[in-house]
Amino acid sequence: MCGIFAYAGTENVVPLLIEGLRSVEYRGYDSAGISVIDEVGEIQTVKRGDHGASLGNLASALDGDSISGVVGIGHTRWATHGGVNHQNSHPHASSNGSVSIAHNGIIENFLELKDELMDSGIVFQSETDSEVLAHLIGNAVTSGRSLREAVIGAASRIKGNTAVVAVSASEPDVAVGLRVGTAGGIVVGKNADAAVMASDVIALLPYTSEVIYLESGEIVEIERGVIRLFDLEGSSISRKPIVTSQNFEAAQKGNHPHFMSKEIAEQPDAIQGAMRGRAAFTKGTLSLPEFSLAQGQIKAIDRVVLTGMGTSLHAGMFGALVIESLARIPATAENSSELRYRNPLIGPNTLVIAVTQSGETADTLAAMEHARNAGAPQAVVLELEGSQATRVADFTLPIRAGQEIGVASTKTMTASMTTLLQLAVVLAETRGVIGGEQVRNIVGSMAELPSLIATTLSLNGQISELADRLSKFEDLLYLGRGAQLPIALEGALKMKELAYIHAEGYPAGEMKHGVNALLGPDIATVVATPRNDLYEKMLSNISEVKARGGEVAAIATEGDDTVERLADHVIRVPDCPELLQPFITLVPMQLLAYRTALALGRDPDKPRNLAKTVTVE
């Protein structure tokens, strides 16, 4: 969705707003803008709707100290209502320019509000839904309300999930923030000289590690060194800050050219993080202390439903396979945007597991609410603690991958898979399906995972050559079977979102049921064919593709010369237990998409039309 940052303090706010927006730019980068209360108490607004170049162009436009002040707000936009241009960029101003707002979310009743405001003589400057907030708040301030009261009043008029920050020329020392629903959060913090609020904790880290996450229905007022919290009735709220574990330095690129390459490379550490405090390698035991469902309830589970979107859904598919395979409980993975609307049969003996690295994905949160209302015990597998999903689930299972900035999810997928595999073992052992010996074997295999991943990371050379070749195609097919199917789907998703190449992931068994019609010299096929019980079937699929003139790139086990003879290109991954093969074939898929994007001159950290967290439907 969008990135928001606001500052009230003693320093010149302009460079601080730019830096704050850089920290949250991955949440949306179609446009960028700031509003500053200048030395004479007027609001100055500068904004650029230049797609990925917006923040850079905004910073250039602000060079030379043309504007300065000590209170301001900023916004990076992922367009939902209104095209990408300067006018539709945030912040948006009230008619007389005395109020400016930056908004994240969707105002579902904005047309009726816009009509009402236009009937009263308001002239709109943009096509956005957000601008109605500027006028509602501006009108209230003009009629004598304080900025906080005006924001509360506007909150009572709008429908939909919203996070908004506002400044007013009539109160030049403060900025106000509001959160209603789950349109991406607002987190606030302060030090002796300043107070800041943002849509993401990472933007606060240069100022403080003690932060407060706004709950839905809360208002915050910040000024130099002061934070004041209120509810929608205007009553004061007091809440102790938490110390965040996020690390500003870790969130920087280091010596990597992109966040995505850094985060792919961090996967050995991310997987270790996901096993920390859970897998005891010397004893060969495994526990998941955060999953404190009573043993009797674990034994009574008669179905497991996993749910998520995009990459997290693919991780959930892996989770369903290992849970059903190890714990022998029927398990399915469902797209949250489908699950939330199909009135599913979920009850107290259904274990629901949401997978969402951000914890803020609107469709996944809605599916989680449905599960909670159905009385199902629910766990959420996530990275961002303090996010909305942790307030809905009964159990939060952190994946501890570390902040993921690249829009394309990489390390959070492998860390989610690692967490889900451990959950599967805990379920299986608690239900008596596997015993200590099998647990020891699995834990022993998992101990090898970080080094196996590190080995696959060294495949870059083979990958670059293949990426150059695949970049020539407009259509790609990704095939997999069993636990390699979610990997094939993920490989296709990565190629779509990074290289903008049409890539379809398919169960390899589907080929004869229509997909074969696509085969020919104009489409290349990527197949995941590690040595396992479906290996022979995959060899047949490769032959099928080749027989119809298709080009095949296979991800195969080191030393497998059979595939070598069949496929046009082979990426060799280390041999490993079948349970771990999806991790090992996933990394080349990630690298392939990353390298292909570079071959095509795409920005892998900020793919077009996308945002890191989709907090709207």
CA distance 531 to 545: 19
Structure tokens belonging to residue 394 = 């009964």
Q: Which is nearer to ligand AGP, 25 or 131 (CB)?
A: 25
Torsional sign, CA 511, 515, 521, 523:
negative
Give the end-to-end CA distance of the chain in Å, rounded to a whole number: 10
Residue from 309, 353, 511, 598 in contact with ligand AGP (CB under 6 A): 309
Q: How many residues bind ligand AGP (CB under 6 A)?
A: 16
Residue from 129, 221, 497, 551 in contact with ligand AGP (CB under 6 A): 497
CB of 596 to ligand AGP, least distance (A): 15
**Per-residue binder mask for ligand AGP (CB under 6 A), 341-370, x = binder:** ---------------xxx--x--x------
Counting contacts by CB under 6 A, is residue 312 touching ligand AGP?
A: yes
Residue from 89, 126, 471, 613 in contact with ligand AGP (CB under 6 A): 613
Counting contacts by CB under 6 A, is residue 49 touching ligand AGP?
A: no
C-alpha to C-alpha distances, 167 to 6, 125, 209, 587, nearest whole angstrom: 9, 18, 25, 46
Structure tokens belonging to residue 49 = 């709707």
Are 264 and 594 contacting, i.e. CB atoms less than 8 angstroms apart?
yes
Q: Residue 435: is it exposed, middle or buried by C-beta count within 10 angstroms (0-12/13-18/19+)?
A: exposed
CA 289 to chain centre: 25
- Pick the stretch among 138-146, 291-299, 310-318, 508-516 that binds ligand AGP (CB under 6 A): 310-318
Total H helices, total E strands in the chain? 19, 27
Counting contacts by CB under 6 A, is residue 407 touching ligand AGP?
A: yes
Torsional sign, CA 304, 355, 525, 583:
negative
State which of positions 6-25 bind ligand AGP (CB under 6 A): none
Q: Which amino acid is at 617?
A: E
User: Is 472 tagged catalytic?
Assistant: no
Q: Which is nearer to ligand AGP, 168 or 356 (CB)?
A: 356
Name the active-site residue from 2, 262, 496, 576: 2
Q: Which is nearer to ligand AGP, 196 or 313 (CB)?
A: 313
**Per-residue binder mask for ligand AGP (CB under 6 A), 557-576, x = binder:** --------------------
CB of 431 to ligand AGP, least distance (A): 28
CB atoms within 10 A of CB 497: 22
Counting contacts by CB under 6 A, is residue 104 touching ligand AGP?
A: no
Q: Which is nearer to ligand AGP, 59 or 355 (CB)?
A: 355
CB of 234 to ligand AGP, least distance (A): 33
- What three-state secondary structure class fits 598? helix
Looking at beta carbons, which residue is closest to ligand AGP?
310
CB of 533 to ligand AGP, least distance (A): 29
CB of 198 to ligand AGP, least distance (A): 17
Q: Residue 65: is it exposed, middle or buried by C-beta count within 10 angstroms (0-12/13-18/19+)?
A: exposed
- Pick the stretch among 253-261, 303-311, 548-556, 585-593 that binds ligand AGP (CB under 6 A): 303-311
Q: Which amino acid is at 65?
A: D
User: Is 612 tagged catalytic?
Assistant: yes
Counting contacts by CB under 6 A, is residue 495 touching ligand AGP?
A: no
Residue from 310, 486, 582, 588 in contact with ligand AGP (CB under 6 A): 310
Q: Which is nearer to ligand AGP, 35 or 410 (CB)?
A: 410
Are 315 and 486 contacting, i.e. CB atoms less than 8 angstroms apart?
yes
User: Comparing C-alpha atoms, which of 561, 600, 592 is closest to residue 462?
Assistant: 592
Q: Residue 71: is it exposed, middle or buried by C-beta count within 10 angstroms (0-12/13-18/19+)?
A: buried
Summarize as ranges the residues that interact with ligand AGP (CB under 6 A): 308-312, 356-358, 361, 364, 407-409, 497, 613-614
Catalytic residue numbers read 2, 612
